Amino acid sequence: MALDDKSKEPLYLQLYEILKEEIESSMIAPGEQIPTEAELIDKYNVSRITVRNALKKLTEDNYVVRYKGKGSFVPDKQYKRSLNSTQSFSEMCRELGYKPGAHVIKCCIEDASKDDIVDLGLKEGAKVVVVERLRFADGTPVSLEITHFTEDFDFLLQENLNDCSMYEIIRDKYNIIFSSSRKILELKFANYEWAKYLGVPDNFPLLSINSVVSTTEGKKAQRSQQLIVGTKFKLLI
């Protein structure tokens, strides 16, 4: 489709609408790279500033994600999750029709950190159960979970926590129900380790959700950090 330089609509908006339609119709599928600036300039016979303005608007409207030095890509499909819910990741995935997955990176006993002691009300010298897992939706890595449980959750050390819901095991097998949590939302930039696990570039912006979760009995049970690929997740507040 050619651009109309006689139209009252700016050329960059015309180009924006063309690319937007191609994305919405899946002519450019999720995860695919859109044409480069040079290719768009050549195809539509427009200036570089026109192309950049169109790409800027596509980025602002979340139709593309731009990676420095790599180009612009259509985001993968997003998974919706309520920030205020205690619903497990696996339950959320199944509710939305996606296949949940999990890969255990670490499951061990460690000395409680200062943050563990403060957030979980522990005594000096206490131990915590640390579980780190990479979470998948339809085989796509979307979240890295780092959870510190109080030591009475040491039964988790004997459980197979791969490709399952840890919360469902705790609830259904051990009759422990989580009822409330305090959450803090921050922006973090992926370090080398996080980037490798989540399949994103170094310094990629991640949504970090820090939580302190209690049981129905009012006892603090765990503190966790979820590092979420924001281009693949939509949080409902």
Going from N- to C-terminal start, the domains of the chain cover: 11-73, 79-236
* Nearest CA among 195, 207, 236, 206 for reference residue 79: 236
Check residue 86 and give its pLDDT: 56
pLDDT averaged over every residue in the chain: 87
Residue 125 has pLDDT above 60, yes or no: yes
**pLDDT digits over 175-212, tens only?**
999 886 778 889 999 999 999 999 988 888 898 989 99
Work out the angle at residue 195's Cα, subtended by the Cα atoms of residues 194 and 196, and round it to the nearest 5 degrees.
90
Q: Strand pairing of 205-215 and 220-229?
A: antiparallel
How many Å apart are CA 26 and CA 7, to the nearest integer?
A: 27
Check residue 113 and give its pLDDT: 96
- 156: burial class by Cβ within 10 Å (0-12, 13-18, 19+)? middle
What residues have CB less than 8 Å from 54, skipping those under 6 apart? 12, 13, 15, 16, 19, 40
Q: Which pTM value belongs to this model?
A: 0.65
CATH 1.10.10.10 describes domain 11-73: yes
3 falls in which pLDDT band (50, 70, 90)? confident
What is the third-level CATH fold of 79-236? Chorismate lyase (3.40.1410)
Residue 19 has pLDDT above 90, yes or no: yes
